[in-house]
Amino acid sequence: MSKITVVVCDHIHQKGLDILANDADINLINAADEPKEKLISEIIPIADVAITRSSTDVDQKFLDNAHNIKSIIRAGVGVDNVDIEGCSKKGIVVMNVPTANTIAAVELTMTHMLSCVRQFPYAHNNLKLDRVWRRQDWYGTELKDKKLGIIGFGNIGSRVGKRAKAFEMDVIAYDPYIDPRKVSDLDITYTSDFEDILSCDIITIHTPKNKETIGMIGSKEINKMKDGVVLINCARGGLYDEDALLEGLTSGKIHMAGIDVFNKEPATQHPLLDLNNVTLTPHLGANTKESQQNIAIQAAENAIAAAKNIAYPNALNLPIKENELPDFLRPYLELIQRMGNISAQATRSKIKSIKISTQGNVSEYIDSLTTFATVGILSESLEDSVNYVNAEFVAQERNITISKESIVNHSGLSNKVCIKMLTNDGTFSISGTVFGENTSRIIDIDGYQLDLEPKGTMILFRNTDVPGVIGDVGHIISSHKLNISDFRLGRDKNSQALAVVKVDGKVTKNLLSDLEALKTCLNVTHVNI
């Protein structure tokens, strides 16, 4: 049997290289110091598996030369430099290493927290650089008995909570997508009311970066916080609105902030650097020797497993060789994933069960449709940590029951796909079909018949079906300087209606509050697809 060629494109820890070099079935090529042009044109064509980091872009040029590659391992969490869709079309499995830097990120969060409350960097500089011994200038506060608000209670947020408890802090967690027992089992308070977080002494954020979380802490939220609050962000740039953060720090509303990540990096000219009440680090979340070693080891082990077709740990995509799929199926896979994402955004609640039903010829592929639907649903809260390979396993870990059924087709349509979700707040159902070759449509939401393209920013407004509602809704939306690009209405036999209003621009909390204040409103939410 010929050896399998694994190419390491960027520098990784020596432990990872040793694992690859010591496997008798692997031909290791360490090309980390090779010019990129040579790597792409001469080395990648002979590779079976590639390990990359941020220095090598897996773009169209890379893929055009990847004649034999079956798997690509991104040694780290982020995959912004990898064309995942392009890899899928070539049948290349993309994997990352999402948990190797967990402890490093947790400990950096605690470092920033302690540095903020004790103003450690400034006291250090005052003594070491200025040679000034003034203890009276550096009175800090203690973590003990302070209330810590944690936004996002996944692998990192939960471990921050454990360590904060060891400091005898009063910890409260907000994460609408988890089972509250995950929090209460750690003797930490769970809240479903975001306002509870805003009343804390210290707030730290550990969510994915997605449509729902970008800028989730802005001026409005900061104004509701305690005077002298401390804010920490060692997760992802942009979760805090940086303009609002700067304003709060400048005014003194925010006592201190600990920031490791920025909207645009490197951030060497960022205005936050000019302030004397912020601790800043250059995106060091994964920068520990242990973390880099763990990343390299896991990347090497994953590469070997993939090379030998044993397993594909943390796979981020489903290899799709287009010539192996029936032409009619592809738009249904995309449609049901979008339907799943709409379902998650429309409910924004802990999911208990997911049921997929199909009618027509698509029923032959119900397993694949279920996988795509589950990815669409869970990716809203989990982002990169859910994929086509692990989706149903991740759902099982979250105690989400998944079921599926093929129904005799009496719909009058060639094919129909449906999702029904049960959440802590009730049920949500959505159905769709594809007309012609590739015209996807949502045809039903919660029993209201519609004809809706699953794309764009949409307000879902459920109301009592009385005269004047459409005018009221349109007036409020226009008062928020938004243009209505489409308006779809479904009615039922119980004098209720569901309006789906597409708008050009961002839906704000203030807009939703104004719509909710209408006497005719039963509930209102929004989605962005």
- Residue 81's CB is within 10 A of a number of other CB atoms, namely 15
List Cβ neighbours of 276 (8 Å cut-off, separation of 6 or more). 122
> Shortest CA distance to 389 belongs to which of 317, 301, 302?
317
* Burial per residue of 273-297, b for 16 or more beta-carbon CB atoms within 10 angstroms, e otherwise: eebebbbbbebbbbebeebbbbbbb
Active site residue 118: no
Q: Is 348 in the active site?
A: no
List of long-range contacts for 119-123, beta carbons under 8 Å, 24+ apart: 119/256, 120/279, 121/279, 122/276
How many CB atoms lie under 10 A from the CB of residue 313? 17
Determine the Cα–Cα distance for residues 54 and 394; give it in Å rounded to an integer. Answer: 27
CB contact at 8 A, 329 and 362:
yes
From 142, 265, 364, 516, the catalytic residue: 265
What are the tokens at 248?
A: 């709060």
Q: Are strands 170-174 and 71-74 parallel, antiparallel or unpaired?
A: unpaired
3-state secondary structure of 117: helix
**CA-closest candidate to residue 121, choices 228, 256, 234:** 256
Burial 427-449 (b: 16+ CB within 10 A, else e): ebbbbbbbeeeeebbbbbbbebe
With H, G, I as helix, E, B as strand and everything else as coil, classify residue 418.
strand
Which of these is catalytic: 236, 255, 462, 488?
236
CB contact at 8 A, 137 and 291: no
Known catalytic residue: 410? no
Residue 318, CA distances (Å) to 7, 40, 87, 340, 365 in order: 22, 24, 9, 17, 15
Bridge partners, residue 427, by sequence: 422
Q: Tell me which of 283, 348, 441, 480 is the catalytic residue.
A: 283
CA distance 284 to 260: 7
CA distances from 137 to 119, 123, 128, 277, 520 (A): 10, 8, 15, 14, 58
Closest CA to 438 of 349, 330, 511: 330
C-alpha pair distances (Å), 511 with each of 193, 342, 349, 365, 507: 19, 19, 21, 41, 7
Give the catalytic positions in this structure.
236, 265, 283
